[in-house]
Each structure stands twice: as structure tokens, then as C-alpha cells.
């Protein structure tokens, strides 16, 4: 529960594991006092999956920030590229490469932890497959989202404050700071519909079986819809940006 410092710690493996253990210790103590409907093992699984794929959440391109500030973005705009897809692919690639290498060792470690501390088995084989699908769709969705925020920050020449707040939104509403399953039920109904929850919350719930296999198409449809919507908005943003670009030089 340390939004602002994750960046400082650079998401190192040991750091992620440490945070995972701390969070789970807290939840275990809480559960001991007041057991919940949702089994503890689902919560621990939630935490580990969030930690493992943490890299996918945050804004990943400091290079672009610099480009915007120095005005070098103008070069990109002169190139015969479809800018939107170029940056989309770029963002997605960075998220993928950043996550997969870290996720695997962490998931192995979490699977080896004792009951009540570690990763539990998926609810069923279909659940596992669906959650992987959900993760992939979630990746598309969050990349589209980030593309928009990037186009947005291109307009504001000093993106630091904006960036911080957007990161916070992402981390809170995706279930990273606190598993969405522990939010008040009324809140959950709304938050799970937002695009932020589509990255990790949806696949995780598919994995643990909270989204029953029968409900999976519904969940996946929400992901797809958001992805399409965000892509459309993103394209529009980039197009207007290309038209009125203010270059701040020297």
C-alpha cells in the first residue's frame, strides 16, 4: 500500500516478493479476526498475481516523456508511420517484456509457499485457460488506455502531476493496492465495470473461480468492449494532437 514508492523501488523481484508477504501477513491477521465469504486462499492468490504482473500496470515509457518535453516528438510526427499503432505496439511490447520475465519466477515461488500463504491452484482447467485469455485481453485494454493518457499528457507540457494521479487511479482501481474483492460489495459492482479493473481483476477472478466459467463470456465481452472503445478514443486523440502540436523548444 505504497503507491508512490513502487516506482522508486523499480519493481525488483525481491521487492515484489517482500510486499507480497507483508500484504498477505496483514490479510491473514485480519481474516483471523473476522473470516469472510471469500476464502483466504483466493485473497493470497489475488495478491501474488497482482504482484507478479505489476509491471503491466504502470506507465512504462519515460523516453516518450522526454521526447515530449524536448520537442523531439516532432521527428516522429514527420515520419510516415501510423503513430497510434506504432505507440500502441510499443507500449504493449514494453509491458509484456517487463512482466513475463519477472512473473514466472515469482509465480513459481508463490506456488511453492504453504497453504494460506501462496498461490492456489486454478478453479479448473477451463478457468485457467479463460484467465490467460482474460490476461491477454486485459493487456490490450490497458495498452489502449495508456495510449490515451499519453496522448493526453502530450497536451500538457508538464506531465508529472498528471502522471502521478493517473498511476494512482490505475493502481487503486485495478486492485493492486487493495484487492477489489475486499472492497465494499456496492463499490465492486461499479469498479469491476471500469477499464482499470479489466487488466488484472478480471483474469484473477476467472482464475480463482469467482467469475464462474459460465459467466466468463460476459466478463470477456466487457474487456473487448472497453478495448475497442479506448482504441477509438485513442485514435481520435492522436489525430487531433497531430494537427495542433505545440513544440516547446530549447
Say if residues 60 and 95 touch (Cβ distance below 8 Å): yes
CA distances from 5 to 75, 90, 197 (A): 33, 25, 21
Q: 25 or 89: whose CB is closer to another protein? A: 25
Answer for which of 96, 107, 129, 177 binds another protein (CB under 8 A) is: 177
Which of residues 62, 80, 114, 161 is near another protein by CB under 8 A? 161
| Segment near another protein (CB under 8 A); pick from 21-29, 52-60, 131-139, 230-238 | 21-29
Stretch of residues binding another protein (CB under 8 A), selected from 1-9, 47-55, 92-100, 140-148: 1-9
Binding flag, residue 128, another protein (CB under 8 A) = no
Which position among 129, 172, 194, 224 is part of the footprint of another protein (CB under 8 A)? 172
DSSP 72-103: THHHHHHSSS-HHHHHHHHHHHHHHHHHHHHH
Give the DSSP letter of residue 209. Answer: T
Q: How far is the CB of 30 from another protein (least distance, A)?
A: 4
Burial class (CB in 10 A: 0-12, 13-18, 19+), 79: exposed
Cβ of residue 87: shortest distance to another protein, in angstroms? 24
- Report the residue from 69, 160, 189, 239 that binds another protein according to the rule CB under 8 A: 160
Q: Is 206 exposed, middle or buried (0-12, 13-18, 19+ CB in 10 A)?
A: buried
Smallest separation, CB 242 to another protein (Å): 25
Distance CA 84, CA 235 (A): 6
Amino acid at each position: 500500500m505504497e503507491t508512490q514508492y513502487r516506482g522508486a523501488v523499480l519493481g525488483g523481484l525481491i521487492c515484489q516478493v517482500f510486499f507480497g508477504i507483508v500484504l498477505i501477513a496483514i490479510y491473514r491477521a485480519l481474516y483471523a479476526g473476522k473470516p469472510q465469504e471469500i476464502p483466504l486462499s483466493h485473497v493470497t492468490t489475488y495478491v501474488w498475481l497482482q504482484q507478479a504482473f505489476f509491471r503491466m500496470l504502470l506507465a512504462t515509457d519515460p523516453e516518450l516523456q522526454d521526447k515530449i518535453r524536448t520537442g523531439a516528438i516532432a521527428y516522429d510526427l514527420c515520419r510516415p508511420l501510423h503513430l497510434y499503432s506504432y505507440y500502441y505496439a510499443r507500449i504493449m511490447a514494453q509491458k509484456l517484456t517487463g512482466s513475463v520475465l519477472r512473473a514466472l519466477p515469482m509465480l513459481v515461488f508463490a506456488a511453492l509457499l504453504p497453504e494460506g500463504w501462496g498461490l492456489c491452484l486454478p478453479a479448473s482447467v477451463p478457468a485457467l485457460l479463460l484467465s490467460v485469455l482474460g490476461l491477454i485481453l486485459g493487456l490490450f485494454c490497458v495498452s489502449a488506455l495508456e495510449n490515451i493518457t499519453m496522448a493526453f499528457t502530450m497536451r500538457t507540457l508538464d506531465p508529472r502531476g498528471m502522471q502521478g494521479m493517473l498511476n494512482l487511479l490505475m493502481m487503486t482501481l485495478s486492485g493492486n493496492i487493495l484487492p477489489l474483492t475486499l472492497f465494499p460489495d456496492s463499490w465492486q459492482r461499479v469498479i469491476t465495470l471500469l477499464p482499470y479493473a479489466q487488466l488484472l481483476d478480471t483474469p484473477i477472478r476467472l482464475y480463482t473461480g469467482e467469475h464462474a466459467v459460465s459467466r466468463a463470456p460476459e466478463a470477456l465481452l466487457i474487456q473487448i468492449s472497453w478495448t475497442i472503445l479506448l482504441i477509438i478514443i485513442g485514435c481520435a486523440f492522436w489525430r487531433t494532437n497531430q494537427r495542433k502540436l505545440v513544440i516547446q523548444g530549447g
